[in-house]
Amino acid sequence: MSVVDEFDPHALAEQDFLDEVHSFQFWFDSVEGYLSDRPYGRLETTVDEPIDDARRERLITTLCNYSVGETAALEGAAGLVQLAPDRNSKIFMATQVADEARHLEVFLHRLRELGVADPEAEIERRAQPALVDFKGALLDLVAEGDWQAAVFAQNVVLETMEYTVFRLHAANADPVTRDVLAGVISDERRHAGFGENDLGRSLAADPSGRARLREIRTGLDAMVVGVFEAALADIGAPAGERSQLAHEYLDTIERLGLT
Amino acid sequence: MTDIDVSAPGIGADPSRRRYELEETGFKEVPKKWRKFYRHWGGPLDTLAPNEVICPVCKVVIRATRELRPGDKVYCMPCMSRMVVVVAESGRLEAEVIF
């Protein structure tokens, strides 16, 4: 006699799977699992370790630029709620808005813990111009009402790079920053996955969109690849690990047929 | 149904396949009822069991209650991807994303 689990994700019909993973309930029950015992993303039992001045400076610059990226995604996702073509996507994008707001908050909080009295001014001072340009380009796509291009910019280009950089950073970070990044990484998995799958489905239905997205990609890559490569150098990621950034990003691009 | 689809309940309900009792391993990124179907990947030295494949999108290990076979359809809930199990050039089972 065969025994089938009452809850087996692989037994779901595709639409039931999509309804489940895009739902607010799924998001709520997921984040409860890894955030409920972490005020500002940090386990209360984690002890901060002394950081020398040079490392602290590099970390502040990195967190300032992460904050620029998270602000871009927060504003972008908020605008995309209105553009989303169906209700599941609207609900998912609303959960992403909450995630991005939390990411920004925990990075600002960490900056204050590191002694930055005025994080807003520090971000302004240390933001990489290319990343600020990327934010402008993303918000322009949102303002134009271009769901497909904006999801590509935000959930594929930005989120895929952030997902890789945050993971590499977490592996090399001080204990508190590692805690903070761990929760963010778990969120980014959803965001990057949503982008790839949403675009993948739309491009499978209408492959003509690929040429346009390839063109958009060329402009966006120039703005962000250098910034995230610099971030990896700043956090001291070994050279061998840094190549993972391009490798994982290009894997995504290839799966979408955008090479 | 396409040629890369199998009927969804096929994996868990197929008595010809070796069955695996799944337990939670500390992966908390999905609601509790789904957690035992996923685990964190430990890197290149992490040996996968016959009921496991790595999600190429988010690098989480996807687990099933029975051994996986080429053509099986599995879902990665942490990154919302749908995929099909294939045999790679190395002979190992891998997952390919399907849109």
Cα separation of B70 and B82, whole Å? Answer: 14
Q: Examine residue A1 and state whether it is found in any structural domain, yes or no.
A: no
Q: Is the pLDDT of residue B8 over 70?
A: no
- The shortest C-alpha distance from B48 to chain A (Å) reads 18
Cα separation of A136 and A234, whole Å? Answer: 24
Average pLDDT of chain B to the nearest whole number: 89
Q: Examine residue A24 and state whether it is found in any structural domain, yes or no.
A: no
Cα separation of A76 and A25, whole Å? Answer: 23
- DSSP letters of A109-165? HHHHHTT-S-HHHHHHHH--HHHHHHHHHHHHHHHTT-HHHHHIIIIIIIHHHHHHH
Closest Cα in chain A to B9: A11
Q: What is the pLDDT of residue B5?
A: 46
pLDDT in tens, chain A (259 residues): 445 567 899 999 999 999 999 999 999 999 999 999 999 999 999 999 999 999 999 999 999 999 999 999 999 999 999 999 999 999 999 999 999 999 999 999 999 999 999 999 999 999 999 999 999 999 999 999 999 999 999 999 999 989 989 999 999 899 999 999 999 999 999 999 999 999 999 999 999 999 999 999 999 988 888 888 888 888 888 877 778 778 888 999 999 999 9
Q: Which of A13, A189, A201 sits opposite B79 (nearest CB)?
A: A189
**Which among A183, A21, A37, A22 has a CA at the least distance from the CA of A104?**
A183
| ipTM of predicted assembly, 2 dp | 0.89
- The shortest C-alpha distance from A130 to chain B (Å) reads 27
Q: What is the pLDDT of residue A4?
A: 58
The whole-model pTM stands at: 0.92
Please answer yes or no on whether B37 and A8 come within 8 Å at the CB atom: yes
- The shortest C-alpha distance from B39 to chain A (Å) reads 13
Cα separation of B54 and B88, whole Å? Answer: 12
Residues of A within 8 A of B85 (CB-CB) are none
Which pairs count as long-range contacts for A143-151, CB under 8 Å and 24+ apart, including other chains? A143/A79, A145/A83, A146/A83, A147/A80, A147/A83, A147/A84, A147/A85, A148/A199, A148/A202, A148/A209, A148/A213, A149/A212, A149/A213, A149/A216, A150/A76, A150/A79, A150/A80, A150/A83, A151/A80, A151/A195, A151/A198, A151/A199
Residues of A within 8 A of B35 (CB-CB) are 33
- Choosing among B41, B80, B82, B97, which should be mutated to test the A contact, i.e. which has the most A CBs within 10 A? B80
Q: Examine residue A26 and state whether it is found in any structural domain, yes or no.
A: no
**Which among B97, B95, B86 has a CA at the least distance from the CA of B63?**
B95
Q: Examine residue A146 and state whether it is found in any structural domain, yes or no.
A: yes
Q: Is the pLDDT of residue B6 over 50?
A: no
Q: Is the pLDDT of residue B10 over 70?
A: no
- CATH number, domain with residue A118: 1.20.1260.10
Q: Examine residue A27 and state whether it is found in any structural domain, yes or no.
A: no
Split at pLDDT 50, 70, 90, the class of B87 is very high
Q: What is the pLDDT of residue A222?
A: 85
Is A219 in contact with A137 (CB distance < 8 Å)? yes
- Choosing among B21, B77, B86, which should be mutated to test the A contact, i.e. which has the most A CBs within 10 A? B77
Q: Examine residue A6 and state whether it is found in any structural domain, yes or no.
A: no
Q: Which of A30, A196, A251 sits opposite B29 (nearest CB)?
A: A30
Q: Which of B30, B73, B99 sits opposite A30 (nearest CB)?
A: B30
- The shortest C-alpha distance from A48 to chain B (Å) reads 24
Closest Cα in chain A to B12: A4
B22-42 residue pLDDT tens:
999 999 999 999 999 999 999
Q: Is the pLDDT of residue B81 over 90?
A: yes
Q: What is the pLDDT of residue A77?
A: 98
Residues of A within 8 A of B77 (CB-CB) are 9, 17, 20-21, 26
Q: Is the pLDDT of residue B4 over 70?
A: no
Residue B76 β-bridge partners: B81
- Main-chain dihedrals φ then ψ at residue B67, nearest 5 degrees: -55, 145
Cα separation of A164 and B51, whole Å? Answer: 27
Is A235 in contact with A59 (CB distance < 8 Å)? yes
Is A158 in contact with A224 (CB distance < 8 Å)? yes
Q: Examine residue A204 and state whether it is found in any structural domain, yes or no.
A: yes
Q: What is the pLDDT of residue B7?
A: 43
Q: Examine residue A40 and state whether it is found in any structural domain, yes or no.
A: no
Q: Is the pLDDT of residue B21 over 80?
A: yes
**Which among B98, B88, B89 has a CA at the least distance from the CA of A255?**
B98
Please answer yes or no on whether A193 and B58 come within 8 Å at the CB atom: yes
Number of domains in chain A: 1
Cα separation of A25 and A95, whole Å? Answer: 10
Which residues form the domain of A250?
A: 51-255
Residues of A within 8 A of B79 (CB-CB) are 189-190, 192-194, 196-197
Which of A:9-48 have CB within 8 Å of B?
A: 9-14, 17-18, 20-22, 25-26, 29-30, 33-34
